[in-house]
Amino acid sequence: MGKLDGRVVIVTGAARGQGEQEARLFVEEGAKVVLADVLDDQGEALATELGEASARYVHLDVSQEADWQSAVGSAKDAFGKIDGLVNNAGILRFNELVSTPLEEFQQVIQVNQVGCFLGIRTVAPEIGAAGGGTIVNTASYTAMTGMAYVGAYAATKHAILGLTRVAAMELAGQGIRVNAVCPGAVDTPMTNPAQLDPTADPTEARDAVAELYKKLVPLGRIGKPEEVAALALFLTGGDSAYITGQPFVIDGGWLAGVSIV
């Protein structure tokens, strides 16, 4: 038996990176997964690979309320119910805070913060109607501390923790648990944009990132998206049945303190 047998879960940002690995793992554990993203070609390809019986792809711009309503309808048409949500979609922009254009700041808020809010607001009633379930929000290491040059991103991730705690309190009576994963650096295209640059040497880019996090992270390496997926699985499955309203840091010890070595 799988840990998610009988569950139907929407995963946003599921076409690549952490979302892709979450979708793959959830299907392995018996869930029906609705893959939601704006990267249609990659999302469709992944859904085809996972199989129609287990996965469907829907186009979802998480900042758009109408897209959420459409995604919920597609999920119910395909699998009859929804009892899980992983709010994984997000964007990252690097900029000095005082140099950040308002348009850029608002764009990050719309995707990361408003997208999470709309996901909770739209999907929670469906989860309640299904008899309860789980919501996992993707926050960040930066939700627990500060980091220079990612002011917009850090602000939205702090906000996601607030949404997580309030939602956990308000939805507990409907049998809905709400928690947050807080990854540090993870080896995905968002953390390492060189993965998306066709002119970059992938080995050189990966080696540079590996060397950076060897110095920064106590465990001596960047995280793997599969490791974040395993945490999302724990928070979605029955093993975490008495946990709600909590942030879970997964960062190789980065937040623990500063090394002088």
What positions carry a catalytic annotation? 153
Query: What SS3 state is found at 111?
Result: helix
Ranges assigned E (strand) in 52-132: 55-59, 84-87
Cβ neighbours for 85, distance < 8 A, ≥ 6 positions apart: 9, 10, 12, 119, 120, 123, 124, 127, 133, 134, 135, 136
Q: Terminal CA-to-CA distance of the chain, rounded, Å?
A: 46
The DSSP secondary structure of 113-159, one letter per residue, reads IIHHHHHHHHHHHHHHHTT-EEEEEE--GGGSS--TTBHHHHHHHHH
Q: Are 27 and 11 in contact (CB under 8 A)?
A: no
Give the separation between CA 236 and CA 254, rounded to whole angstroms.
Answer: 25
Provide the β-strand partners of residue 135: 85, 178
The DSSP output letter for 113 is I
Count of CB atoms situated within 10 Å of the CB of 23:
32
